[in-house]
Amino acid sequence: MPQVIVTRNAVRGIQRCQAFLAAKAPDAARRAGQTIDRYLVSLASHPDIGRPFSDGSDLRELLIPFGHSGYAALYRHVPRETAVYVLAFRHQKEAGYLLP
């Protein structure tokens, strides 16, 4: 089973999304964090669950439903390293990912 590795860039995206929500609804931000954790952990047992990313690369996108929309995590499964790298994270209503 692959190890899920969340990069610093993805952590920043998660923190940014949670801070935005926490300013308006702290309880919802806590629930969102739990939902995000649950979905990211699921990548260890189902690394190809996300849809192929639109750029034609080997990247995949995991959609995480929450509220009226949700979040999206950009990741790469590297079987030879038995790893799943979460590279970026955003709210579904945001345009594009912030990549380093």
Domains identified in the chain, total number: 1
Domain membership of residue 99 (yes or no) is no
Domain membership of residue 9 (yes or no) is yes
Distance separating alpha carbons of residues 74 and 10, to the nearest angstrom: 8
Nearest residue to 64 (alpha-carbon basis) of 26, 12, 25, 13 = 13
pLDDT averaged over every residue in the chain = 94
Domain membership of residue 34 (yes or no) is yes
| pTM across the whole model | 0.92
Distance separating alpha carbons of residues 64 and 81, to the nearest angstrom: 25
Helix (H) or strand (E) holding 17: helix 8-24
CATH of the domain at 64: 3.30.2310.20
Domain that holds residue 28: 3-91
The amino acid occupying position 7 is: T
Domain membership of residue 97 (yes or no) is no
pLDDT digits (tens, 9 = 90+) for 11-20: 999 999 999 9
pLDDT digits (tens, 9 = 90+) for 30-68: 999 999 999 999 999 999 999 999 877 899 999 999 989
Distance separating alpha carbons of residues 68 and 53, to the nearest angstrom: 22
Place of tokens 């969102």: 32
Domain membership of residue 50 (yes or no) is yes
